[in-house]
Amino acid sequence: MHHSLPLQLLEGRHEPMGAHPRDGGVNFAVFSEHAQRIELCVFDGSGSRELKRYALSGPHDGVFHGFLPGVGPGLVYGLRAHGPYRPEDGHRFNPHKLLLDPCAREIVGRFAWAPEHHGYELGHPEGPRSFDTRDNAARALKARVAEPLGEAPGRRNAPRHAPAEVVLYEVHVKGFSKMHPGIPEALRGSYAALAHPAAIAHFKALGVTTLSLLPVQYAVDEPHLADKGLTNYWGYNTLGFFCPDPRLATQRDDPAAVTAEFREMVAALHAHGLEVVLDVVYNHTPEGNEFGPTLSFRGLDNRSWYRLVPDDRGRNENLTGCGNTLQVAHPRVAQFVLDSLRYWVHEMGVDGFRFDLAPVLGRTNHGFEPNAAFFAALRQDPLLAQVHLIAEPWDAGHEGYQVGRFPGRFLEWNDKFRDAVRGYWLGREANAQVSRGEFARRFTASSDLFHHGQRSPSASVNFVAVHDGYTLNDVVSFGHKHNHANGEHNRDGRDGELSANFGVEGETRDPAIRDTRERVRRAMLATLVLAQGTPMLNAGDELGNSQGGNNNAYCQDNATGWLDWAGADAGLTRFVSALTALRREEPLLHHDRWFCQPPGGPGDAFLTWLTPVGSEMHVHDWHEAGCLAFACRIRAHDPRVSSLLLLFNPDVAPQPFTLPPGHWQLRLDSSGSLPPNHATAASGHLTAPARSLLVLRST
């Protein structure tokens, strides 16, 4: 190969970004606003020996570029950037450091932390102001030119569920199948396993429509985890924004095979009507704060890629809690994010994104802006306009809590729903004081947050547990966190997370405690699935999965973080399936318009809140201390649609209810105490069992 490399690089084109085969060669384009020169470094196929260096042409509008004739897919390369090394001004150029192309479609090598990955001398008294001249190429990750993929198979016929029909299932690719007995051992923990018939059968039986996958882009472990022999299991530390993570594939050492397996997984899920949404981390990179390494972005143009402290450009702005913050307000960084998103939709076939720490994407010099340029670009993009957009609407910066402020068709994680539902059903056991009014507001899609600017109830993504925090089983089994295995002396993870153990910490054989936990857990699941808005199940909650009270299992790539199929609660799984079926069957349980007052018009529905004695709730009722049971009646403007009555009783004792006139049939008793399809007596009274949610339908 050494002899076949051309003597010089041709000028090439300044677009598209990255390395792309064309016209009998490969075109390279890389952004840097402040570099003086960028070199393309070509390696042998193993990435161990540097064969030749070429200076790229440019810059052309901030892009260095070149065309290498006579080569093609399989070419391994890295970049070296020359420019000022003035950390105090935000410039961190160091040509001794081989840099990974941010737009790499394939990455070769196994990353390990080493001192020479830093642009400065570790341990030097001047810290980052010192300059390290060691070459890190031997240990650096390299990019490999990939075969052009074209459009993902079957993408144009992919399912597209209407917002009102979506039921999300947040799931970790590896954790779902690693201990699944119905999936061949060779596949467990992989993309292929998620598309195995046993997995698909579970998703279909459960009634979910859309898998929300924890990060699958190429991630590396943080140095403090590597030092402890732990890994970043969740993967919120992305380095390769165009590459599926090989750790989740069956053939880890072949990047092309990893990509093919991911595409096949998406196509198989699509064939069964299931959508795929990716959790993406466009808010920070593994390069950390100003003391971090120089792996890619920092070495190419630190001042453009990252937000720096305005009056001290030697320091990174840390709005993410991870050391650095991508500067998405920069046009080229915004372009990079949009290019990456388009790649995952067009070439990889996915159906949408959940944006981690999403306020970062809308941060300008004036704080978070719902009308930031990035959001405008995202919403008008012809390809991205078709997919689901979900925000985690908080980051770690000033005024970082932005629930309800994202634009247009964004859906948003609603943690106020989680806290209200947990507080209402756990009650005094968790020292929680949640009023009927707060619970009712969250149950009806949080109009105080989302009823503005043409947004609909489905904008509220409702959840009671997610990957970050306790599992639902642990919410009702532990009074405090048990994170010692993370190696941080139980200091990590959220303190004071709403939970209750009902008398015993952790597992117990006490039948009374077990019954209480079961009732509360089922009541919370029923509230989640039947509330207005978009429900999101945490994978494993339908099995009764526990993490032993660990509420921050991000580094637990073991039985703690994997789903426990051997101990799965089949009855609970059937219960969740019944809930999603009920939600589908009853139009008023997924009514994606705000409830209004009669008379209304076609397509409208009305809601009346009732006290247990059957009278309408008044202002003083909402604030009455000591009584938390109440009911809601939902009626459609269309008389052909059956009305519904939901009874909520979080109390430790059964609660008699006086029902509105008419005939009512029981559709659901979350406690399982009453006979199914029980019809109410003519007297119009029904006693709701302790800690239960009941649904009745007019007949």
Using CA atoms, how far apart are residues 559 and 546, in angstroms rounded to an integer? 10
Q: Is 339 strand, coil or helix?
A: helix
User: Radius of gyration of the chain from Cα atoms?
Assistant: 27
Q: How far apart are CA 518 and CA 531, in angstroms?
A: 20
Give the active site residues. 356, 392
Asked if 118 contacts 140 with a C-beta cutoff of 8 angstroms, the reply is: no
The reported pLDDT for the residue numbered 699 is: 86
**Boundary of a domain, candidates 84, 116, 144:** 144
CB atoms near residue 559 (< 10 Å): 13
Separation CA 592–CA 608 (nearest Å): 17
Determine the pLDDT at residue 103.
98
692 is a domain residue: yes
Instruction: Give the residue from 523, 477, 571 showing the smallest Cα distance to 688.
Output: 523
Specify the pLDDT at position 1: 42
As a whole number of angstroms, the distance between CA 303 and CA 306 comes to 6
Residue 655 domain flag: yes
- Where residue 540 falls (left for φ over 0; alpha for ψ -120 to 50; beta otherwise) is left
Domain range for 640 is 593-698
Task: Please check whether residue 662 lies inside any domain of the structure.
Answer: yes
**Can you tell me the distance from the alpha carbon of 372 to that of 69, in angstroms, rounded to the nearest whole number?**
41
Q: Identify whether 18 is part of a domain.
A: yes
C-alpha 256: how far from chain center: 25
10-residue stretch averages of pLDDT, the chain, 699 residues long: 79 98 97 98 96 97 98 98 98 98 97 96 96 97 97 92 97 98 98 98 98 98 93 98 98 96 98 98 98 98 98 97 97 98 98 98 94 96 96 96 96 98 94 92 98 96 98 98 97 96 97 98 98 98 98 98 97 98 97 91 94 95 88 94 96 96 95 82 84 96
Q: Tell me how far apart the alpha carbons of residues 155 and 361 are, in angstroms, rounded to a whole number.
A: 27
* CA 341 – CA 385 distance, rounded (Å): 11
Residue 195 included in any domain: no
Is the bond preceding 59 in cis, omega lying within 30 degrees of 0?
A: yes
Output the domain CATH number for residue 667.
2.60.40.1180
Q: pTM for the whole thing?
A: 0.97
Q: How many CB atoms lie within 10 A of CB 506?
A: 13
**Residues 648, 655 contacting (CB under 8 angstroms):** no
Which contacts of 372-379 are long-range, i.e. CB under 8 A and separated by 24 or more positions? 372/329, 373/329, 373/331, 373/334, 374/328, 374/329, 374/334, 374/337, 375/406, 375/407, 375/408, 377/334, 377/338, 378/338, 378/341, 379/407, 379/408, 379/409
Number of domains in the chain: 2
Compute the C-alpha angle 347/352/353, nearest 5°. Answer: 110
Rounded to the nearest 10 degrees, the angle between the axes of helix 331-346 and helix 297-305 is: 120
Domain end marker among 144, 168, 201? 144
Q: Which amino acid is at 671?
A: S
Alpha-carbon dihedral 202, 203, 206, 209, rounded to 10 degrees: -170
Tokens matching residue 99: 């840099």
Cβ proximity of 222 and 228 under 8 Å: no
Domain boundary residue among 144, 163, 197? 144
The CATH number given to whatever domain includes residue 67 is: 2.60.40.10
Question: Quick one: pLDDT at residue 90?
Answer: 98
Instruction: Say if 554 falls within a structural domain.
Output: no
Task: Please list the alpha-helical segments (H only) found in 446-496.
Answer: 447-450, 472-475
What single-letter amino acid sits at 683?
S
Assigned domain for 404 exists: no
- H helices within 229-330, ranges in order? 255-271, 297-305
Structure-token match 């002899």, residue found: 3
Q: Which pLDDT score, from 0 to 100, does residue 251 have?
A: 95
What's the pLDDT at 683?
A: 63
From the list 288, 293, 375, the residue with the least C-alpha distance to 328 is: 375
pLDDT number for residue 115: 96
Nearest residue to 500 (alpha-carbon basis) of 487, 519, 483, 484:
519
Query: CA angle 274-275-278, nearest 5°?
Result: 140
- Domain assignment present for residue 63? The answer is yes
- Check residue 2 and give its pLDDT: 45
